[in-house]
């Protein structure tokens, strides 16, 4: 039996309809000038509109290779030599490390710390200056599930400096919480297909009409000449299928995950020494739990050998002490023992019961060995 509980890393693709359609009729190059290619171009246009519709975003949409590229593009598009920037200490590495790079280019960057696990609007606003070019605060944290109030944060930023652009990494938020950016003031918002049961290698950057991103690549005129190269039509069409499914099944899926989340917390509370890193405001899909005295990667490997798959934090930072958890005030011992269990509506209560039983067994065993 295989039990997959690492859905924040990636999700099982559910795109059978798209695979058949793409292979048979929708594989043409959308830049070509004949009817079948034009049909593929229109499919891409349909996906752009669907992304704007499900997020309530009024602006443009450019397809990228994923959330990392979209986040990089948004941040670098706001770069001005010597300008001031604000981000948080709990951002995904693709955001955090981009700002670290900007610092080497002479930018001034403030890294706001969370209050508990969440970023507070007043803490961000206190750092805004007249020369602040961009503020980037994630919507949902990929390690803890903490949900930031980006509407309040963006509003506080714009009230202090209306010229400052606002970006939010929404990769872990899409179909995990309700999103309505229609009156938010958000200028850039990023999403990724493989987090919602579509394919890896596909993401998108939503951008305000007056904040068009800069090009990072050069070549042809695809994607409004902002991202040249033949488009990933399979990934884009699969994105649309996932968007349809996610939109139509949002309420039912959220109800399932809320039920699983409750059972998971109840089960973890029965494991000796378990410390749940629980934000006050969160999505139910991600649970971070620490087992002090047990190294996270050792526990993950032990469970993996039994066919139970959970994560240790950001999938791209395997083996490293969590910068996010330490910024949230989690002690070093607890951070070393933190694992991430992330749910989807495909999971079952039985899977959770098996996982919790095995976690309890392995934690007890590993602590016993650790004391020898």
Higher pLDDT, 43 or 315: 43
Structure tokens at 146: 């903490």
The predicted structure's pLDDT at residue 1: 81
**Architecture category of domain 16-247 in CATH:** 3-Layer(aba) Sandwich (3.40)
Whether 95 shows a pLDDT value over 60: the answer reads yes
| Residues contacting residue 165 through CB under 8 Å, at least 6 positions apart | 78, 133, 134, 135, 187, 188, 211
Mean pLDDT, range 192-203, rounded to an integer: 98
- pLDDT tens digits, residue range 294-332? 999 999 999 999 999 999 965 555 557 899 999 999 999
Catalytic residues: 316
Overall pTM > 0.85? yes
| Domain range list for the chain | 3-11+249-370, 16-247
Q: What are the contacts of 163-166 at 24+ separation with CB within 8 A? A: 164/128, 164/132, 164/133, 164/134, 164/135, 165/78, 165/133, 165/134, 165/135, 165/211, 166/134, 166/135, 166/136, 166/137
- pLDDT tens digits, residue range 119-176? 999 999 999 999 999 999 999 999 999 999 999 999 999 999 999 999 999 999 999 9
Query: Which CATH code fits 3-11+249-370?
Result: 3.90.1150.10
In this prediction, residue 370 has a pLDDT band, given cuts at 50, 70 and 90, of low
The predicted structure's pLDDT at residue 372: 44
């Amino acid at each position: 039996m295989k039990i997959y509980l690492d859905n924040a890393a990636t999700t099982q693709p559910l795109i059978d309809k798209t695979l058949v359609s793409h292979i048979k009729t929708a594989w043409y190059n959308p830049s070509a000038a004949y009817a079948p290619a034009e049909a593929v171009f229109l499919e891409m246009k349909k996906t752009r509109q669907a992304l704007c519709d499900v997020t309530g975003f009024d602006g443009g949409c450019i397809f990228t290779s994923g959330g990392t590229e979209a986040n990089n593009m948004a941040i670098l598009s706001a770069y001005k030599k010597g300008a001031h920037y604000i981000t948080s200490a709990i951002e995904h590495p693709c955001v955090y490390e981009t700002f670290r790079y900007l610092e080497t280019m002479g930018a001034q960057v403030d890294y706001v710390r969370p209050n508990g696990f969440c970023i507070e609007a007043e803490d961000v606003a206190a750092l805004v200056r007249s020369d602040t070019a961009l503020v980037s605060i994630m919507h949902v944290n990929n390690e803890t599930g903490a949900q930031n109030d980006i509407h309040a944060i963006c509003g506080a930023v714009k009230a202090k400096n209306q010229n400052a652009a606002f970006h939010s990494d929404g990769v872990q938020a899409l179909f995990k919480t309700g999103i309505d950016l229609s009156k938010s003031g958000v200028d850039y918002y990023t999403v990724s297909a493989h987090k919602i049961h579509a394919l890896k290698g596909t993401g998108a950057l939503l951008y305000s009409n007056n904040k068009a991103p800069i090009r990072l690549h050069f070549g042809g005129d695809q994607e409004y000449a902002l991202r040249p190269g033949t488009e990933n039509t399979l990934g884009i069409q699969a994105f649309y299928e996932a968007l349809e499914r996610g939109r139509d099944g949002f309420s039912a899926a959220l109800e399932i995950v809320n039920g699983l989340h409750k059972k998971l917390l109840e089960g973890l509370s029965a494991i000796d020494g378990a410390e749940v890193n629980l934000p006050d405001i969160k999505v139910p899909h991600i649970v971070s739990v620490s087992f002090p005295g047990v190294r996270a990667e050792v526990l993950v490997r032990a469970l993996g050998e039994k066919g139970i798959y959970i994560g240790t934090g950001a999938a791209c930072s395997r083996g490293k002490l969590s910068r996010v958890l330490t910024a949230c005030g989690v002690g070093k011992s607890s951070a070393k023992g933190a694992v991430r269990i992330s749910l989807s509506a495909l999971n079952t209560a039985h899977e959770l019961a098996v996982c919790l039983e095995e976690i309890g067994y392995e934690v007890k065993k590993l602590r016993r060995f650790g004391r020898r």
